[in-house]
Amino acid sequence: MPRPGQVKLGTDERLSDRIAVGLLTRSFPPELVDRVVADCGRSGQRNRLLPPRVVVYFVLAMCLFSGQGYEEVARLLTHGLTWAKRWSGSWQVPTTAAISRARAKLGPEPLKALFASVARPLATEATRGAFYGRWRLMAVDGTVFDVPDSQENAAHFGRPKTHRTQRCAYPQVRVVALAECGTHAITAAAVGRFTTSEPVLARELFDHLGEGDLLLADRGFTGLELWRAASAGGADLLWRIRSHQVLPVREELPDGSYLSDIVAARDHRKRADPEAVRVIEYTLDGPGRPEQDAPYRLITTVLDPDAAPATELAALYHQRWEFENTLDELKTHQRGPAQVLRSRSPEGVEQEVWAHLLVHHAIRTLMHDAAAQAGLDPDRLSFTRSIRLARRQVTAQAAFSP
């Protein structure tokens, strides 16, 4: 018997075999989605109104069309199926309550597993601005997303306080990620509570680094243990360091940098168990630029100045700010400026965050492929125009089987 809102089909054709989401089904093929769903133990009857595959694509489309209501997103997924005569049955758009229940049943695990299966660096040797010498440029940083002010979200994620120690309007979820500087592709991420610090979450990401990577980080990522964890897989590091940290000069080098060592904070006097680093100090001068109280200080695992001269590393460090552009793409242009995530439960919030990361990776993959064909730097392409193109593809290609 068909469920309310369904019409039983006269053939074996299923909606989940016809639904298409343009760029998203190209980036995340149905067979991959089905395998991830099965691996996470979320498989269900495929002839239901909202089978797991459809729910995965719905959550992705929900993040692509951030700001649209549930039922409108569902309509966009199937727009064109009837008039194009590629769908022989009829399908009633599920209610918001039905979609919410389906999302809750799916949970965040399939979206997280799907991201882990596809997220990777995109740049090739021909990609402009993605490499320095033998190193692929990577950056680590974090951000927060406002989430609905439900009791569950507040209890699980926590919320910041204002400068007057009053609670902020919304709880927040913290996200720390690795991104490829040359393509803005997010290659790994960790999701946690607002009360969990960025360095703690960053530890979950370092297994994704290896030889040939040069990781850039701001001064919020400090400490001997974190430094060793980030470089354990063979990656090289170039991090800014706080001005008050003691860095004794062990050997001056011909390019103006010097060898030093860092120790754990508790051992700053005895300097037990030191780690050798190279220090690069520099200042920035220019019209209208305020005078600096202290020079910028970078530390790196690249101890040989011939392999990476100090002036080149100082100039290279600004590539870390490509991560800020990545966050602007994700939070301003994709999610929408100052928008709060939709989900009122912690599981739904995590599901939504992973979906946003997946959508961003799909768009950035499209941009990298287009730039490669045209022989351009991916930075020369517009993310805003690219996401508009992706949104148009949803309704333009909904009539085609994935």
Nearest alpha-carbon partner for 17 in 59, 70, 53: 53
pLDDT at 224: 93
pTM listed for this prediction? 0.89
Mean pLDDT of 386-401: 68
Residue 258 has pLDDT above 70, yes or no: yes
162: tokens are 């204002």
C-beta separation of 301 from 276 below 8 A: no
Mean pLDDT of 221-230: 94
Mean pLDDT of 220-226: 92
Identify the DSSP state of 329. Answer: I
Distance CA 249, CA 264 (A): 17
- Portion of the chain with pLDDT greater than 70, in percent: 84
Distance CA 248, CA 28 (A): 51
Residue 83 has pLDDT above 90, yes or no: no
Mark residue 231 as left, alpha or beta (left: phi above 0; alpha: psi -120 to 50; beta: remaining).
alpha
> What are the φ and ψ backbone dihedral angles of 81, each rounded to 5 degrees?
-65, -40
Lowest mean pLDDT among 118-122, 328-332, 335-339, 397-401: 397-401
Residue 241 Cα to chain centre, angstroms: 24
Residue 3 has pLDDT above 80, yes or no: no
Lowest mean pLDDT among 95-104, 165-174, 315-324: 165-174
Distance CA 307, CA 288 (A): 34
Mean pLDDT of 232-249: 93
pLDDT at 187: 98
Q: How confident is the model at residue 81 (pLDDT cuts 50, 70, 90)?
A: very low
pLDDT at 208: 97
pLDDT at 46: 54
Identify the DSSP state of 333. Answer: I
pLDDT at 8: 40
Identify the DSSP state of 119. Answer: -
Identify the DSSP state of 73. Answer: H
pLDDT at 244: 82
Q: How confident is the model at residue 70 (pLDDT cuts 50, 70, 90)?
A: confident
Q: How confident is the model at residue 389 (pLDDT cuts 50, 70, 90)?
A: confident
Beta bridge partners of 279: 258, 299
Cβ atoms within 10 A of the Cβ of 161, count? Answer: 10
pLDDT at 163: 67
Mean pLDDT of 222-249: 94
Q: Higher pLDDT residue, 18 or 337?
A: 337
Q: How far is CA 322 from CA 68, 197, 316, 367, 379, in A?
A: 29, 22, 11, 15, 9
Mean pLDDT of 47-64: 85
Q: Higher pLDDT residue, 344 or 265?
A: 344
Digit-coded pLDDT (tens) for 266-288: 766 667 789 999 999 998 876 76
Residue 162 has pLDDT above 90, yes or no: no
Q: How confident is the model at residue 147 (pLDDT cuts 50, 70, 90)?
A: very high
Lowest mean pLDDT among 43-47, 274-278, 326-330: 43-47
